[in-house]
Amino acid sequence: MPKEKASLSTHAARNPAKAVQQPRRRANQSSATKATKALAAAQRAQAKDALFADINDHYLEKRQLIKDLAKKHNKKENYIKKLLNNDVHTKTKRSANLWNAVVHDFSIKAKEAGDESALEVVRDGLSKEEYQTIKANMSEDEKKHLLKQLASKRKVEFKGIRVTNKSLAMDAMQTANSINDQLIDLFERTGVRTFAMFTRSHAEDSAVPNIVDSDNARDFFKQAFGKSFSEFLLKFEQWSCTLDRDDDRANDVQSVRKQIVLLILDGLRAAMQGFD
């Protein structure tokens, strides 16, 4: 029986030369291991409940503080709340320091050996004394190797291709939501209005076209051009999905399939325009 041709329906399959982020797989566990983990999970749940109770007390105190400040300064509570929460969400990239490199290497070895107790140590964090002992027994070459290993892992985390269409769509959605939060906070801090548009680059990808904005900046499309933002988003999607097409292969099966999908989407969005 002839071997089935590999599917090119995912972003990862179409880019075999690029690094990918492998999906997580759970290893089979013995009954004793499951029982031990169940007990540890119960203890963590108890500690988590205690933490949440303290956090809840903090929020109650904060809520009362907001009310007191609003009353004292004759301001609305939402205004005081925004001032208290007005922190920038963007963060600088962490450098690959030796501490993190040692923890990462410890985690790799513990997983390879199936050592649950070692993994617990990694989750809880190394003590300062343990780290200093490990560091003192390492050569410069070993330190460079661990730093390079951690840098490679982080590169895959930031730029590694998503293996499945489901993980691709989830990544796109979460990133768009994160950017949306930053745009809203930027407007609150500076009054700068902005929008960002997101769309897939291949018709078979499952990422949903999306637009995020601050202070209803998407109304710009309707008021300036007389067209809804969804019409511009559709055009952006069509342009993006055909941008990398090779004209010499315009009539092959993949290209025809891509055009059919886009035509169907065009018709569906036209039918749904009344909901915009």
Please provide the DSSP assignment of the chain as one string.
-PPPPPP--SHHHH-TTS-EEPPP-PPP--HHHHHHHHHHHHHHHHHHHHHHHHHHHHHHHHHHHHHHHHHHHT--HHHHHHHHT------PPPP--HHHHHHHHHHHHHHHHT-HHHHHHHHH---HHHHHHHHHT--HHHHHHHHHHHHHHHHHHHHPEESSHHHHHHHHHHHHHHHHHHHHHHHHHH----EEEE--SSTT--PPPEEEESTTTTHHHHHHHSS-HHHHHHHHHHHHHHTT--GGGTTSHHHHHHHHHHHHHHHHHHHTGGG-
Q: Which residues neighbour 266 within 8 Å (Cβ) at sequence distance 6 or greater?
A: 234, 238
Domain assignments of the chain as residue spans, ordered by start: 35-84, 98-160, 165-275
The predicted-structure confidence for 151-204, as pLDDT tens digits, reads as follows 887 777 777 778 788 888 888 899 999 999 999 999 988 899 999 999 988 888
**Distance between CA 109 and CA 119 in Å, rounded?**
9
Chunk the chain into consecutive blocks of 10 residues (it has 276) and report each block's average pLDDT, rounded to whole numbers: 54 76 69 79 85 84 87 83 61 67 78 65 68 84 86 76 82 91 90 92 85 93 91 89 63 62 64 56
Give phi and psi for 93, each to the nearest 5.
-70, 135
Q: How many beta carbons lie within 10 A of that of residue 102, not counting itself? A: 21
AA identity, residue 106: F
Give phi and psi for 212, each to the nearest 5.
-125, 150
pLDDT for residue 90: 46
Burial class (CB in 10 A: 0-12, 13-18, 19+), 20: middle
**Distance between CA 217 and CA 214 in Å, rounded?**
6
The predicted-structure confidence for 231-248, as pLDDT tens digits, reads as follows 999 889 888 888 866 554
Q: Give me the residue label for tokens 């690094």.
A: 19
